[in-house]
Amino acid sequence: MDVLMFGWEFPPYASGGLGTACYGLTKGLSRNNVNVTFVVPRVPENSSPSSHVKLIGADSVKVPIKILEVDSPIVPYITSAQYSERLASISSKSPGGKIYGKNLFAEVARYAEQAKQIARETKFDVIHCHDWMTYRAGINAKKISHKPLVVHVHATEFDRTGGHPDQRVYNIERQGMHAADCIIAVSNFTKGLIVEHYGIPPEKVRVVHNAIDLEDRQDVFVRKNSWEKIVLFLGRITVQKGPDYFLYAAKRVLEQEPDVRFVFAGSGDMESFIIEKAAELGIADRVLFTGFLQGEDIVRAYKMADLFVMPSISEPFGLTPLEAMSHGTPVIISKQSGVSEVLKHALKADFWDIDRMADMMLSVLRHDVLKKELSGNGLAELQKFSWSEAAQKCVSVYNEVLGAQHG
């Protein structure tokens, strides 16, 4: 079977879970004898050549994927305002570079146009799109080819904005979901949002939980001081990820254990707010900011940490806890996450329940036996997550939409 996939990031040009998920899924699909042509917007011009080498490395593990680049500065999770800034910075860094659209929506439109051409030139049976920026591309490809369209929802505008969706993004999401022959949601949590907010009948949505392949786990040596306790937040510092709840919980912990360090690894539009808030709470000296991390630095952060916390207020899935666990780091996850549906050996709290979260943090930091149990059992539990299995479920969806089309 041949699948034409529209994504917007692919490792190493990835800034979030979406690229990781697409990588894992395509690898799983190749094990299920599916040939994937993966389309991404053009990669940043200033990317280092070594990044390209890594990309080819993906081929060397026998992932039969052709990468087609579409010229675009689209990066994941970007808001329209950020896009203008990004555009300005790219333009200044690469004088004489390409001519970009004036805003994110123009880029989405352009990506969709180019998709028509790609659909004409490529051989495929099914179209598979990942999140809203690719939906118009997918719709166009369907119009040209009359092949069935599957849209894969890794996040909705409701997750990203903490319940205050941008109407334009919402419209594109809705359009894509309605145009699709079948929708794949990364969790029941997300399926619920799709049914509730987008007017989609539940029977049109299949749930395929994300996974993790332990053999892909990178490892680096980390020297860790046993006396230093570190609690890690890793992700975009945006309203969706609940960094403020993490900070308030940190304050509660520090009242009892003043030597703990709290690390924010990531960047985002709430960063300055968090920095100022930390100062206001009088804990600025215990809170560190690493900025945006990549590759080995992420691994280092997971391994340095005694505890990883994902306090998201609305998390469709949440791959980072699985990554943290793969390095033996215990995790606290919010109940408002897809991963909490499938993960057992994790501590779970409502994102707003700061005292509960602080209670859990203190317990892990104080009781080595708790840390040890979570770590050991968590690592064992990861064996049950497999991208091959997730991919298999996608293949069932492909067969279903192909059957419906021919039948």
Partner 1 sequence: MVSVCFYFQVHQPPRLRQYKVFDIGQNHDYFDHKKNEDILKKIEAKCYLPANRLMLDLINMHSGKFKISYSITGLALEQMEQHAPEVIKSFQQLADTGCVEFLSETYYHSLSFLFSKPEFIEQVRMHGKKIKELFGQKPTVFRNTELIFNNEMAKFVECLGYRGMLAEGADHILGWRSPAFLYKPVSTKKMKVLLKNYKLSDDIAFRFSNPSWEEHPLTVPKYARWINACNGNGHVVNLFMDYETFGEHQWATTGIFRFLKQLPGEILKHPDNDFVTPSEAFERYPHAGEIDVKNTVSWADVERDLSAWLGNSMQRFAAEQLYKLREPVLESGDKKLIEDWRKLTTSDHLYYMCTKWFADGDVHKYFNPYDSPYDGFIAFMNILNDMSARLKTPNNDENSENHIHLRS
> Would you list the DSSP string of 102-129?
SSHHHHHHHHHHHHHHHHHH---SEEEE
56 makes contact with partner 1 (CB under 8 A): no
Q: Choose which of 249, 374, 390, 397 interacts with partner 1 (CB under 8 A).
A: 374
359 makes contact with partner 1 (CB under 8 A): yes
Binding mask 223-262 for partner 1 (x = CB under 8 A): -----------------------------x---x------
Binding mask 88-107 for partner 1 (x = CB under 8 A): --------------------
Determine what percent of the chain falls in helix, strand and coil, rounding each to the nearest 5. 50, 15, 35
| Smaller CB separation from partner 1, 249 or 397 | 249
370 makes contact with partner 1 (CB under 8 A): yes
Give the count of beta carbons closer than 10 Å to the beta carbon of residue 276: 11
Tokens, residue 50 = 């070594």
| Smaller CB separation from partner 1, 275 or 370 | 370
Query: What distance lies between CA 374 and its chain's CA centroid?
Result: 24
Per DSSP bridges, beta strands 347-349 and 331-334 are: parallel
The site that binds partner 1 (CB under 8 A) totals a number of residues, namely 22
| Smaller CB separation from partner 1, 288 or 370 | 370
Least gap, CB of 20 to partner 1 (angstroms): 23
Least gap, CB of 380 to partner 1 (angstroms): 8
Which residues are bridge partners to 69 per DSSP? 40
Q: Choose which of 367, 396, 399, 405 interacts with partner 1 (CB under 8 A).
A: 367
| Smaller CB separation from partner 1, 304 or 358 | 358
Which residue type occupies 373?
A: E
3-state SS class at 273: helix
384 makes contact with partner 1 (CB under 8 A): yes
Tokens, residue 260 = 């703990």
Q: Choose which of 99, 201, 280, 369 interacts with partner 1 (CB under 8 A).
A: 369
Q: Choose which of 360, 390, 397, 401 interacts with partner 1 (CB under 8 A).
A: 360
Residue span binding partner 1 (CB under 8 A) among the ranges 145-153, 164-172, 285-293, 361-369: 361-369
Instruction: In whole angstroms, give the CA distance from residue 197 to residue 157.
Output: 10
Least gap, CB of 311 to partner 1 (angstroms): 17
Give the count of beta carbons closer than 10 Å to the beta carbon of residue 329: 24
| Smaller CB separation from partner 1, 71 or 353 | 353
User: Which residues touch 342 (CB under 8 Å, ≥6 apart)?
Assistant: 187, 209, 385
Least gap, CB of 340 to partner 1 (angstroms): 10
| Smaller CB separation from partner 1, 37 or 187 | 187
| Smaller CB separation from partner 1, 169 or 390 | 390
Residue span binding partner 1 (CB under 8 A) among the ranges 13-21, 56-64, 67-75, 377-385: 377-385
Least gap, CB of 335 to partner 1 (angstroms): 9
Binding mask 327-356 for partner 1 (x = CB under 8 A): -----------------xx-xx------xx
Least gap, CB of 349 to partner 1 (angstroms): 10
> Would you list the DSSP string of 122-191?
---SEEEEESGGGHHHHHHHHHHH---EEEEES--HHHHTTS---HHHHHHHHHHHHH-SEEEESSHHHH
> Would you list the DSSP string of 248-264?
HHHHHHHHH-TT-EEEE
Instruction: In whole angstroms, give the CA distance from residue 115 to residue 369.
Output: 54
The DSSP element (H or E) to which 279 belongs, if any, is helix 271-280
Tokens, residue 227 = 């006396």
* Contact residues for partner 1, defined by CB under 8 A: 252, 256, 344-345, 347-348, 355-356, 358-360, 362-363, 367, 369-370, 372-374, 377, 381, 384
